[in-house]
Structure 1
Amino acid sequence: MEKWQKDFVEILQTVADEVEQFFLGVNATVDALFDLSEDIAEQINNNIAGEIENYLNEITEPFLDAYWELEDVTGDYEQQHLPYIVEPSPEKHPACIGCHHYHGQVYAGNLLVCAMHPYGWDDKDCPDWQTDRGEF
């Protein structure tokens, strides 16, 4: 090889070494920043989070107390007025057992059996009975 080729290869090797050193320095800096951010997050969690929790408890406690008192007052009303499901039985609404259209929810004390027969079907065989698979 000629001298200029050797010099060129030597320059390329030097550049590669310098780039490697640069990225090693960047990697060390990033690691240091991650360690620093972990330390800061830990300090925030230990010191500030407790203070924030106490502050929020002081603010929300009166509202929560009022809410629980209101819950005691309105609890009976909600139980009477929220819908609940009544399943069909052989004694009540036997034609509706297994029917796809059965709704069976009680609203304000009134049972809605299904949209086609809101009060249920009187006989054992409903003409609109349909299984869940769409068979008649």
Structure 2
Amino acid sequence: MDEWQKDFSDIVKSVSDEVERFFTGMTEVVDTFIEMTEELSEQVQTSLLSEVDQYLQDLAEPFLEVYWDFEDVLGDDLSSHLPYPVEPTAEQNPACMGCRNYHGQVYNGNLLVCGMHPSGYEDQSCPDWEGESIS
């Protein structure tokens, strides 16, 4: 083998070894960076979550105190101001039974039957009655 072929072969082997060492070193650096990033993110997440939790508690506490004080003042009267549903019966709003327009919510003591007849329809059958749609 000629001398220059041997030198060329040695140079290629040397470059190959250096490239392998370079990528091995870069892999170690990247792995270390990823580990540090994971540790840092865990620490930030832990501290951030506790700080946000504390902040939200501090923020909500005055509102909750006012709410509980308000509930103590109103007592059972509070529930009478909240809307609640009323179903049509044979005695009350019989024309509305099975109608898809029936709303039937009580607001502050007043029953809203439907948009067409807010107080309900007087007869047994309503001209605006529409059956429940089956989807």
**TM-score tier (shorter):** 0.5 to 0.7
Query: Does residue 7 of the first structure (1) align with residue 27 of the second (2)?
Result: no
Please report how far the alpha carbon of residue 37 of structure 1 lies from its aligned counterpart in structure 2 after TM superposition: 3.6
Q: Which residue of 1 aligns with 2:111?
A: 111
Q: TM-score, normalised by structure 1?
A: 0.65
Please report how far the alpha carbon of residue 92 of structure 1 lies from its aligned counterpart in structure 2 after TM superposition: 1.5
Q: Which residue of 1 aligns with 2:68?
A: 68
Q: Using a 3 Å threshold, how does the CA distance of structure 1 residues 55 and 92 change in structure 2: closer, same or farther?
A: closer
| Stretches of structure 1 lacking an aligned partner (at least 5 in a row) | none
Query: Does residue 121 of the first structure (1) align with residue 121 of the second (2)?
Result: yes
1:1-136 aligned at under 5 Å gives the runs 7=8, 11=12, 15=15, 17-41=17-41, 48=47, 52=51, 56=55, 59=58, 63=62, 64-74=64-74, 76-133=76-133
14-23 vs 92-101, which moves further: 14-23
Q: Using a 3 Å threshold, how does the CA distance of structure 1 residues 96 and 61 change in structure 2: closer, same or farther?
A: closer
Q: How many residues align?
A: 131
Provide the C-alpha distance between the structure 2 equivalents of 1:92 and 1:33, rounded to a whole number of angstroms: 73
CA contact (8 A) 2:105 2:113 kept: yes
Provide the C-alpha distance between the structure 2 equivalents of 1:20 and 1:88, rounded to a whole number of angstroms: 82
* Residue identity in the other structure for 2:71: E
Pairwise CA RMSD of aligned residues?
4.0
Please report how far the alpha carbon of residue 52 of structure 1 lies from its aligned counterpart in structure 2 after TM superposition: 4.2
Provide the C-alpha distance between the structure 2 equivalents of 1:130 and 1:66, rounded to a whole number of angstroms: 45
Please report how far the alpha carbon of residue 130 of structure 1 lies from its aligned counterpart in structure 2 after TM superposition: 0.5
| Stretches of structure 2 lacking an aligned partner (at least 5 in a row) | none
Please report how far the alpha carbon of residue 102 of structure 1 lies from its aligned counterpart in structure 2 after TM superposition: 0.6
3-state DSSP of counterpart to 2:111 = strand
* Residue identity in the other structure for 2:118: P
Q: Using a 3 Å threshold, how does the CA distance of structure 1 residues 120 and 66 change in structure 2: closer, same or farther?
A: closer
Please report how far the alpha carbon of residue 106 of structure 1 lies from its aligned counterpart in structure 2 after TM superposition: 1.0
* Residue identity in the other structure for 1:92: Q
Provide the C-alpha distance between the structure 2 equivalents of 1:99 and 1:85, rounded to a whole number of angstroms: 15
Provide the C-alpha distance between the structure 2 equivalents of 1:71 and 1:17, rounded to a whole number of angstroms: 78
